[in-house]
Amino acid sequence: MLDVIARLMKSEPLQNVSPADAFALAGLFDEMPETQAWIKDRKRQYLWVNRAFLQNYAMSSLEEVVGRTDDDLSPPHLAAHFREGDESVLAGRVVRNRLERIGRYDHTATWCVTTKLRVLDQRGRPSGTVGMTRLLEPSEIERRGDIRLGAVIAMMTRLDRVMGNAELARVVGLSVRAFERAFNAEYGRPPQQYLKRLRLQIASRRLVATKEGLAEIAAACGFADQSHFTREFRRLTGMTPGRYREAYEAG
């Protein structure tokens, strides 16, 4: 653990940690109310989370989380997003200071900066992941002026129409090729693929947070029509938008 702390104090980037170091550092995160932290095993089951994580999911004890996965805690679209991130980290990719939207128990979402590392056992084999995500205040978002954030905000505020990579590149002041490279390096997928997933994430929140009709949600989130929305939603979640809304209302 001392080696890990020394490297952190020197601002040396970490890529992997041992299980002992992960759990030894865990207690520190209970003193950081704006930062959610967690440790998962290779099966993506939670082994530990901090108080901020529990509060975000409206839980009161660690026992409510241990042994569960994101499939148990989050809507399908968010669980799929978290699963992809975990699999990427287990394969050796480091997620460091990634700007992303993190969901809450009430189906709202907020901007956060997320870092995930791989946990290796004594033989150097991947045994899980450790991660943390810190809430960004609105004023901090404005100060960052991050081109990646600028592109994602542009996507979110113009969901009801087609946005090609050329337009997104102009928003952040890059050439199309430079923008595509930077975006793919940060988010692990092309901008248009990310935009499709973003449309579905926001549509799913509107399904449970509003009484809007399916056609209205489809139009607001940039789908060609209700049928297009239904096909894409079923492909991601395994159920139709109407069934998703019914399942949520049933509790």
Of 5-9, 49-53, 125-129, the one with minimum mean pLDDT is: 5-9
pLDDT of residue 197: 85
pLDDT of residue 154: 72
pLDDT of residue 15: 60
Structure tokens at 147: 């081109």
- On average, the pLDDT of the chain sits at 80
Where do the domains of the chain lie? 2-139, 145-250
pLDDT of residue 218: 94
Residue 71 vs residue 5, higher pLDDT: 71
**What is d(CA 143, CA 107) in angstroms, rounded to the nearest whole number?**
26
Which CATH number is 145-250 given? 1.10.10.60
Q: What is the mean pLDDT of residues 78-84?
A: 81
Exposure on the CB side of residue 164, measured as CA atoms within 13 A: 4
pLDDT of residue 241: 93
Q: Is the pLDDT of residue 96 over 60?
A: yes
Tell me which amino acid residue 245 is.
R
- The predicted-structure confidence for 189-234, as pLDDT tens digits, reads as follows 898 988 888 888 888 888 888 889 999 999 999 999 999 999 999 9
Q: Is the pLDDT of residue 5 over 50?
A: no
Q: Is the pLDDT of residue 17 over 70?
A: no
pLDDT of residue 232: 93
Q: Give burial (CB, 10 Å; 0-12/13-18/19+) of 34.
A: exposed
pLDDT of residue 226: 95
- Superfamily for the 2-139 domain: PAS domain (3.30.450.20)
pLDDT of residue 11: 44
- The predicted-structure confidence for 116-171, as pLDDT tens digits, reads as follows 989 888 888 899 998 999 887 655 655 555 556 667 767 767 778 778 899 888 87
Q: What is the mean pLDDT of residues 90-95?
A: 87
Task: Check if the beta carbon of residue 95 is closer than 8 Å to that of residue 89.
Answer: yes
Q: Nearest to residue 202, comparing CAs of 217, 181, 224, 190?
A: 217
Helix (H, G, I), strand (E, B) or coil at 66: coil
> Whole-structure pTM over 0.75, yes or no?
no
pLDDT of residue 247: 80
- Please name the residues in contact with 80: beta carbons below 8 A apart, sequence gap of 6 or more: 236, 237
Q: How confident is the model at residue 22 (pLDDT cuts 50, 70, 90)?
A: low
Q: Detail the DSSP E strand segments found in the chain.
A: 16-17, 35-41, 46-49, 95-103, 109-120, 126-135
**What is d(CA 13, CA 186) in angstroms, rounded to the nearest whole number?**
16
Structure tokens at 193: 């693929």
